[in-house]
Amino acid sequence: MRIHREGYPFLLAFSLATAALFLVWSPLGWAGVVLTLWCGWFFRDPDRVAPNRPGALLSPADGVVCAIVSASPPPELGMSPEARIRVSVFLNIFDVHVNRVPADGTVTALHYRPGKFINASFDKASEDNERQAIALRLADGRDLAFVQIAGLIARRIKCDLAVGQSVRAGERFGIIRFGSRADVYLPFGFRPTVGVGERVSAGVSVIAEALPFPGAGMTSTPGERP
């Protein structure tokens, strides 16, 4: 099983603590073994094959769709403030926490914002919690935003992207530690293909698709709603 590099320091700490517990009392040591195995499981980084489906947006995270609402993208990204559909995925401590890019495109903006650590399943977590926001320009000129959000237990967001970087759908881009949330603000002209309560997998599950529209073979200018 592949382990994400962010997990190695934790595995070492858990292993050392487990060894010390065995010296104190063996039942505590076995409890430490269980926790060490859980730590390895939490930081697992399975290989995924993204579906070859034009016009599809993939989930950036494993978890359960907890909300589909109309909302403006994070203002710090400098995108149009016009409300668009937001699909939110809640990750519990047993989900894979490695995040993946939802679509092919170019990163146009990144912004990290400190904040609170309220339960990520609450809708206000999108506004109040610590977050890393990313803006992505698609090949047709439309843009989308996706956001890593810290949760009640999560205390670290890791994003490996850079402004100007070209990315592919399903590509790994970061990790959130210990329970969190991921939001995707859909480009105009896309509709969700999932429902609240549905389980999704990062880089595999299609959460939205482009709607056909007149002149679909033409590109739109950035920020223009087709």
Name the residues annotated as catalytic: 180
CA dist., res. 39 & res. 11, Å (int): 6
CA dist., res. 158 & res. 18, Å (int): 27
Buried b (16+ CB within 10 A) or exposed e, 160-175: ebeeebebebbbbbbb
DSSP assignment of 25-81 = -HHHHHHHHHHHHHHHHHTB---------TTEEE-SSSEEEEEEEEEPPPGGG----
CA dist., res. 14 & res. 206, Å (int): 36
One-letter amino acid for residue 25 of the chain: W
Q: Which residues contact 8 (CB under 8 A, 6 or more apart)?
A: none
| Residue 119, burial from CB neighbour count under 10 angstroms (0-12, 13-18, 19+) | middle
